[in-house]
Structure 1
């Protein structure tokens, strides 16, 4: 297979075929390749080091094949890699240490292999990793505590290995963790009480280990059942967990512990008094100009890059129509190239439109306070008395709207699930990631943009609202898009975080059905939501996007129907009439990740059956 001459190729997807043989060494000639998908085939041989020459690669999916040998050390050369899927192969040896140095890695799946060795305690802290799947291997040794510093981690599955030692206390720092799977290992010691601090932990499986002591009872543990703790004979605690009550501590031990506690408290109080006296004396000696800043606001703010109006004119060919990317409610967006060759999107406001200045101020206020991998990044602003523009990160694959309705494009099911996960992650961050909730108020496919790796980014915050802390809702003039607006927003101008959840639910249904909520077929009380409700369960496949069904043709029909049904059920639960009955976006994320795991499990099952 000679393919090295395809030097301009960006995306190669040959997944789900019956390819045999080895990966050709000529693959190194695909210099600009960003996505390489060879999953669900019968490819054998090794992972060639030639793959490490594809320096622009953002996604590598070789899962569900018969690839053997080791993961090459040169994998660290792929510094832009975001998704690495090598699951369900025949890989051996240990995981290369430098794989943990891939700073942009978002998702790592090495499950269902024969990988052994230990996970090194010297691995680097991974800032962006959200999905870590190492199940069904032969990895031994202790779980490194550094994994507790992977702050973005949402999904962690180390089940069916040979891990020993205790569950790291540092796992209590994984505040965004939705799923923790450690079953079928040789873990010992107590279950860390630090896990009680994980607010979004919905799935926990510690069964069939050698854990001892009391099972924590607060935080997420109030929702767990005995299934999470089976096969650990020395656990105790609440009988609801299927374990005996813990023995009470003898009275004399209680008394001794109280004495120790009192001594510790007195020691702390004495230390505080001493510290206060020292601080007082130190301040008396200092001059007035030696004061220490007490607020973050007293430190100089970080500044965005300065870009002149002239540079924007030059970079957009004087805002030429050929550079126009799209037109929105308050202005136009142009593709531009800055003086350092950075490609950007320039959002220019039409100042003559009513509300344009308010829109610009709202967007600036929101964008300067947030940063998340699934939000469009603002690079800087450019203003003068007659001009207002936002300079934004350029999204080379355009909008979700384009991918849904252009005849030249079609998304497979995994891509759609990934996009829905990305958007839900962005909303969860906006709603719950800071002290004051941020509402988008206009979520729809045109405001969901896709980068070169098909990662979704939510943009266009022109009518966003910031809710002050402890306030559930506010009232405002309705400016959202018909079809996506929640009922309470459209009729009363009332918004809350559940307003965005409604728009998300409608968008989700649109992504699966490829039908706009504003389509001519929807009149009166007959809506996209009513169409989906009427189709479940018997005629569900009649409303699913025909293009999606063509792509997924050949999959297990029952499994596919089950996955699609679960997704559409989420859409319906998010778009309920009453705000209080809609799902929390964090729970939506948990459900979507479960659906994604089911998707991979079914794909693995089909592959193993074919083998």
Structure 2
């Protein structure tokens, strides 16, 4: 008889231990995790859950819209583990404790004036995802949250300066602030956080990108669709061992195109479109050996497109439209119309170019950007590249972040 009972007991123990807190690991491709759902076999209501139920019910009273009737499940006679959007587990080394480990309100459309007095009460929380709601205010103090490592408050109505309480997260991995109304300066400290993922696109940040950008260990970085000004920090070369995708598009960046970008040997996506960057494309870009998508469109670049770049074997999309480039060689010519877009430039013999008058007006002005032929990877011989059929495109975390909803 006991041999039949023991497997059932073992199954129940496994079901009662989602182990969300121990799920933290380095993110290769940031994915919104799906915490284990409530299994229907809760232990007796933990004192922590009794306290948190009161916090949740108080927060429910501040909610002014609930289009999906989510809060109907937040019943005072039920465990918070049964509430929609809340997921429970055991904190590390506290198998006797059962509490809320994750909050996932993505896409609920809830309205509330603030999440202060709510988020900061969940001291054992690991994940907080509230993408696509209508929460106002800013990020509250989360310094008491011992295990928090993912914070997603994207696509809400948060506002003010950069939320400094992000720096109270003890060991952050994933921070997503995109599609809010944050403005002003991004602090230097942002690029000292041990993040794998940082999305701050589609806000109103309008100062210079911090000069210590290269101090960050980030793999996926999106600064697009803000109002950043000034040059790209040359310290970017210091993230050569970690940075995989970075988007600077649609800001107000100026200055010369830095050759230090060529150090990004692991980058697969680099997008600088829609700025006011000028100069010639550095030969060092021929060292971007992992690059698949390189977008420099809508800037003030001029001169010859380096053959070194067109010869990169991983290159699948190279966009140079709307610049003032004047020449391409045979390797680049072989890519026009498939991999390479050179529309709206000043290249003789090609259709869809700027008028001679417009080209002359720009090209006759004095140019102050130096020509740097230094190639860090020492690659000097080039031939016509072979571009086999590209595999089905994988999810690009940074480009996905340009969509208002990423659920």
Shorter-chain TM-score range: 0.5 to 0.7
Q: Deviations over 1:416-435 (max 9, x none)?
A: xxxxxxxxxxxxxxxxxxxx
8 Å contact kept, 1:108–1:132: yes
**Are 2:236 and 1:147 equivalent residues in the alignment?**
yes
CA distance in 1, matches of 2:212, 2:316: 35
Q: In the alignment, what sits opposite 1:166? A: 256
CA distance in 2, matches of 1:126, 1:178: 17
8 Å contact kept, 1:207–1:227: no
TM-score normalised by length of structure 1: 0.40
Q: Report 1:7-406 matches (<5 A).
A: 8-21=99-112, 22-48=114-140, 50-103=141-194, 105-123=195-213, 125-127=215-217, 129-150=218-239, 151-221=241-311, 228-238=319-329, 240=336, 241-242=342-343, 243-244=346-347
1:2 to 55, 78, 95: 55
**Are 2:375 and 1:592 equivalent residues in the alignment?**
no
- In structure 2, do the counterparts of structure 1 residues 141 and 603 end up closer, same or farther at CA, with 3 Å as the change threshold? closer
Q: Deviations over 1:344-371 (max 9, x none)?
A: xxxxxxxxxxxxxxxxxxxxxxxxxxxx
8 Å contact kept, 1:213–1:234: yes
CA distance in 2, matches of 1:235, 1:52: 55
- In structure 2, do the counterparts of structure 1 residues 43 and 189 end up closer, same or farther at CA, with 3 Å as the change threshold? same
Q: Deviations over 1:295-316 (max 9, x none)?
A: xxxxxxxxxxxxxxxxxxxxxx
CA distance in 1, matches of 2:254, 2:399: 28
Whose helix fraction is larger, Structure 1's or Structure 2's?
A: 1
CA distance in 2, matches of 1:225, 1:202: 5
CA distance in 1, matches of 2:146, 2:191: 17
CA distance in 2, matches of 1:202, 1:26: 43
The DSSP-based 3-state class of the residue aligned with 1:10 is strand
Q: Deviations over 1:122-168 (max 9, x none)?
A: 445223x1100010000111111112211211111000001111222
Q: CA deviation at 1:226?
A: 9.3
CA distance in 1, matches of 2:146, 2:328: 52
CA distance in 2, matches of 1:199, 1:225: 12
CA distance in 2, matches of 1:206, 1:156: 13
The unaligned stretches of length 5 or more in structure 1 are 247-581, 607-611
Q: Deviations over 1:388-440 (max 9, x none)?
A: xxxxxxxxxxxxxxxxxxxxxxxxxxxxxxxxxxxxxxxxxxxxxxxxxxxxx
- In structure 2, do the counterparts of structure 1 residues 160 and 101 end up closer, same or farther at CA, with 3 Å as the change threshold? same
Q: CA deviation at 1:235?
A: 4.2
8 Å contact kept, 1:47–1:69: no
CA distance in 2, matches of 1:212, 1:46: 43
The DSSP-based 3-state class of the residue aligned with 1:51 is coil
> What's the RMSD between the two structures over aligned residues?
3.1
Q: CA deviation at 1:9?
A: 2.3
Q: CA deviation at 1:113?
A: 0.9
Q: CA deviation at 1:597?
A: 5.0
- In structure 2, do the counterparts of structure 1 residues 23 and 221 end up closer, same or farther at CA, with 3 Å as the change threshold? farther
The unaligned stretches of length 5 or more in structure 2 are 1-53, 60-79, 81-97, 337-341, 350-387
Structure exhibiting the larger radius of gyration computed from Cα positions: 1
Q: Deviations over 1:463-505 (max 9, x none)?
A: xxxxxxxxxxxxxxxxxxxxxxxxxxxxxxxxxxxxxxxxxxx
- In structure 2, do the counterparts of structure 1 residues 124 and 214 end up closer, same or farther at CA, with 3 Å as the change threshold? closer
8 Å contact kept, 2:150–2:174: yes
CA distance in 2, matches of 1:605, 1:8: 27
